Amino acid sequence: MSVQCKQCGAEEYMPFKCPYCGGYFCAAHRLPENHSCPEYWRVQASREEAVGTQVPRSQAPSYKYTVTMSPPGKGKAVWFSSTELKHLAMGVILVLAIGFSMPLYWDPGLYGYLDVLAVLAATFTFSFMIHELAHKITAQRQGLWAEFRITMMGALITLMSIISPVKIISPGAVMIGGYADEKTIGKTSVAGPLTNIILALLFLALKTALFGSLLSYAFYFGLQVNSVIALFNLIPFGILDGFKVIKWNKIAWAATFSGSLALTILAIFLL
């Protein structure tokens, strides 16, 4: 998911977050002086302090300020802001609603088994959200700012999909900020699909071990969902993960894409 630069409107996959005003900008406008930052006075104040400029006590401002240049929580395995937790909760609700709406057109008989439907909807929601969290955790471990955000357009499309036979699930995405080269971007991008591939293999093993049981059906659904999520996101086109992965490492892309394709084909044959 790309973010528009607030200054020029350019689409950025790895935007820079201004530590003063909190806006997102492209590389050309990342500095406060290049995007008419409304908090530019704080930049000037910090620079004056750095070179030892003294302000007479009678003129000293009464306010206090703190500037944090590095991502909050850097060095931890994973961190969440209160804003992000709210967006994640909204994302979970939207995706869960999609999960419960799936039988509406495909298999209405499932509404007679609400416990089974709840398990399938939860599996679907977990598979989608773990993909986004994998991006987030990988980016944070590499020192980048990364938080999940609901997007207005994505939320509206997802809401409409609840009553539509065609399901488009994209309530939001992990927004990432900070300097990153192709390797960092590639590793962050492949983390989501790779997590789904690992989950698909786990569901396949569980389905095989519990063949014939009610849980076997849920595990098959998990195999199917995670395989498709990984395969779709690894398509090397546009803003999808595959485009960024193939730019970084063609071997890594080929391995993950072929793995997700094989799992998707297997899921079809096991239907």
- Active-site residue identified among 48, 49, 84, 132: 132
Show the tokens assigned to 67. Answer: 């500037």
Q: In the chain, which ranges are E strands?
A: 3-4, 11-12, 16-17, 24-25, 145-150, 172-177
DSSP line for 190-213: HHHHHHHHHHHHHHHHHHHHTTTS
| Contact call for residues 192 and 134 (beta carbons, < 8 A) | yes
Question: Does the active-site annotation cover 132?
Answer: yes
Q: Which residues contact 83 (CB under 8 A, 6 or more apart)?
A: 147
Q: Which residues contact 139 (CB under 8 A, 6 or more apart)?
A: 145, 146, 174, 176, 188
Residue 9: CA atoms inside 13 Å, Cβ hemisphere, count? 0
Cα gap 70→115, rounded to integer Å:
45
Closest to 77 in 3D by CA, of 146, 149, 154: 146
- Residues recognised as catalytic: 132
